Chain A
Amino acid sequence: MPDWTTHVIAGWLTGKAIKRDVTIVVVGSLLPDVFKIQLLFDFLKIDTHGFFDPLHTPIGTILVALLISLLFEMHKLAFFLLLVGASTHYFLDFFLIHVSDGIRLFFPLSWKGYQIHAISSGNYWVTIIAILAIIFYFLFKKFSHA
Chain B
Amino acid sequence: MTEIRDVDVAELRHLVSERALKGETMLLNMGPQHPSTHGVLRLMLELDGEIVVNCIPDIGFLHTGVEKNMESKTYQKAEVMTDRLDYMNPIGNNLVYCLAVEKLCDLDVPLRAQGVRVILAELTRLNSHLLWLGTSGLDIGAMSLFLYCMREREMILDIFEMCSGQRMMTTYIRPGGLWRDVPVEFEGAVRDFIELMPRRIEEYESLLNENPLFLERTAGIGVLTYENAIRWGATGPIARGSGVKFDLRKERPYMGYEQYDFDIPTRTEGDVRARYLVRMDEMRESLKIIRQALDKLPYGPVRSNNRKFIPPPRSEIGVSMEALIHHFKLWTEGFNVPKGAIYTAIESPRGELGVYLESDGGPKPYRVHYRTPSFAALQLMPLLAKGHFIADLVAIIASIDIVLGDTDR
- A and B bind: no
**B interface residue numbers (CB < 8 A to A):** none
